[in-house]
Amino acid sequence: MRTRIRTVALAAALTTTLVAGVTAVPAAAAPAPAGASCTRTSPSSPQPGLDTEALAQALRGLPDRDTTAALVRVGGQETWHGSAGVRSLKTGRGPLENARFRAGSTTKVVTSAIVLQLAAERKLDLDGTVQHYLPGLLPATFDPITVRQLLTFTSGLQPGASLGAENAEGYENRFRTLTPQDVVAASAAKGPYEGPDEGPGKKQRYANIDYTVLGLLIEKVTGDTYAHQARNRIFRPAGMTHTAFPAGPDPRIHGPHHRGYQRLANGAVVDATEWNMSDRWAAGDMISTTADLEKFLVALFRGRLVPQPLLDAEMFTVPDIEGARLSAGLERRDLGGGRIVWGKTGARPGYNTLFAADRNLCRTLVYSVNAVDAKAETVNPAAQRLVQAVFAPGRR
């Protein structure tokens, strides 16, 4: 079985180097926005350059017990592209740098951006309620839930229907269809969370249900399908030519892709590439590439998809709730020393995804890691090494 690492890097001096046996070649960088400061203290005291040796080391040894392949793009002031592992355990052929993959919950950021566009167009009000826009969706036992509370995971809705854990009965049910309407109906039937500290706006709980409801809201407000709105409002403006949603219950990934694998509870590793993800929909159904997600990240952070005032107020502001770390679709991470990174992860059987950057795009990271336990509570080791190599303290 072969393992291959291919990288493209841009050093500050635009030189060609050899890093730990990995050939690095100059490439075009995606510069930080005009006026952005990419130093911690002053222009005379810049942060160390990108550690390409650490990045190459993070990918070495693939495939291993936890990961079959990885695709990586680092951007900002310096760029680096890497791939390692195999596209299929059966054939042992090397990775595809343009491979498509299930991007999981990074879909939520697309959904959030659509909702904020509609708010900017005054087609909906972020302080308007689910009960107003989607009458009859929730029983009268629910307090009013605002659109903003859905965006920030503070709605108080309980999780909806599921086909089971991905490493158990979920795998056996992978070709079954569970519609978004079914998911929401099951949540509504459970009723709201109960307790003195419960209710809309009081707690932040990360869950798919909020964004499933937002998908229904988008369709109701626009009179169009969620997928068509995403294509017209996000994918085309951002130049995401290889990003799409499956056609309903279609379990396939069309175009070049890596096989995804899932380790079951009994220890067996099975091919999980084909899987009906229709229940994830506006919360996690997107198929994309690392290059397309990088385009989305840059376009979003630069204010080309969401108007700057809404971008700052909603996507780069965390609600004033104890323990909150999620904004309208993004997650805020404090790396210390005044450095904040914003991004989003995604996990579907066989596929782990992340895009992240500091606010001024001085450094960006996008990866797709083919993890055999993508939904595990612990971070995939290869993914953890990549994040450390790119965003460790002192690296910018």
| 300 alpha carbon, distance to own chain's centre | 13
Closest CA to 109 of 288, 368, 260, 270: 288
**Residue 49 pLDDT level (bands cut at 50, 70, 90):** confident
Give pLDDT, residue 347: 98
Give pLDDT, residue 37: 60
Exposure of 111 in the CB half-sphere (CA atoms within 13 A): 37
For residue 239 the two structure tokens come to: 């130049």
**Residue 392 pLDDT level (bands cut at 50, 70, 90):** confident
pLDDT digits (tens, 9 = 90+) for 145-191: 999 999 999 999 999 999 999 999 999 999 999 999 999 999 999 99
32 pLDDT above the threshold of 70: no
Residue 356 or residue 14, greater confidence: 356
Summary mean pLDDT of the chain: 89
Q: 93-97: long-range contacts (C-beta < 8 A, 24 or more apart)?
A: 93/2, 94/2, 94/3, 94/4, 95/4, 95/6, 95/69, 95/70, 95/71, 95/258, 96/256, 96/257, 96/258, 97/6, 97/71, 97/290
Residue 130 · residue 145 · CB < 8 Å: yes
Give pLDDT, residue 336: 83
Please give the share of the chain, as a percent, with pLDDT higher than 90: 84
Q: What are the phi and psi torsion angles at 14 (to 5°)?
A: 55, 50
Residue 74 · residue 80 · CB < 8 Å: yes
Unique residue bearing structure tokens 């090494």: 385
Q: In the predicted model, what is the mean pLDDT of residues 50-57?
A: 95
Residue 366 · residue 294 · CB < 8 Å: yes
SS (H, E, C) the chain: CCCCCEEEECCCCCCCEEECCEEECCCCCCCCCCCCCCCCCCCCCCCCCCCHHHHHHHHCCCCCCCEEEEEEEEEECCCEEEEEECCCCCCCCCCCCCCEEECHHHHHHHHHHHHHHHHHCCCCCCCCEHHHHCCCCCCCCCCCCEHHHHHCCCCCCCCCCCCCCCCCHHHHCCCCCCCHHHHHHHHHHHCCCCCCCCCCCCCCCCCCHHHHHHHHHHHHHHCCCHHHHHHHHHHHHHCCCCCECCCCCCCCCCCCECCCEEECCCCCEEECCCCCCCCCHHHHCCEECHHHHHHHHHHHHCCCCCCHHHHHHHHCCCCCCCCCCECCCCEEEEEECCEEEEEEEEEECCEEEEEEEECCCCEEEEEEEEECCCCCCCCCHHHHHHHHHHHCCCCC
Give pLDDT, residue 15: 22
Please give the share of the chain, as a percent, with pLDDT higher than 70: 87
pLDDT digits (tens, 9 = 90+) for 104-121: 999 999 999 999 999 999
5 pLDDT above the threshold of 50: no
Q: Where are the domains of the chain?
A: 101-258+270-287+306-342
Active-site residue, selected from the candidate residues 83, 105, 187, 278: 105
C-alpha 305/C-alpha 79 separation (Å) is: 23
3 pLDDT above the threshold of 50: no
Give pLDDT, residue 393: 60
pLDDT digits (tens, 9 = 90+) for 204-216: 999 999 999 999 9
- Catalytic annotation present for 327: no
Unique residue bearing structure tokens 């989607």: 134
C-alpha 305/C-alpha 210 separation (Å) is: 21
Taken as a whole, the chain contains a residue count of 396
CATH top-level class of 101-258+270-287+306-342: alpha beta
DSSP-assigned beta bridge partners for residue 269? 263
Question: Sign (positive/negative) of CA torsion 232, 206, 350, 94?
Answer: positive
| 215 alpha carbon, distance to own chain's centre | 16
Q: In the predicted model, what is the mean pLDDT of residues 114-133?
A: 98
46 pLDDT above the threshold of 60: no
51 pLDDT above the threshold of 60: yes
**Residue 39 pLDDT level (bands cut at 50, 70, 90):** low
Cα end-to-end span (Å), the chain: 35
C-alpha 81/C-alpha 94 separation (Å) is: 15
Ranking 30-34, 85-89, 110-114 by mean pLDDT, the lowest is 30-34
For residue 295 the two structure tokens come to: 């385009």
Give pLDDT, residue 9: 30
pTM: 0.90
23 pLDDT above the threshold of 60: no
42 pLDDT above the threshold of 60: no
Give pLDDT, residue 82: 97
pLDDT digits (tens, 9 = 90+) for 236-288: 999 999 999 999 999 999 999 999 999 999 999 999 999 999 999 999 999 99
13 pLDDT above the threshold of 50: no
Give pLDDT, residue 48: 57
Give pLDDT, residue 320: 96
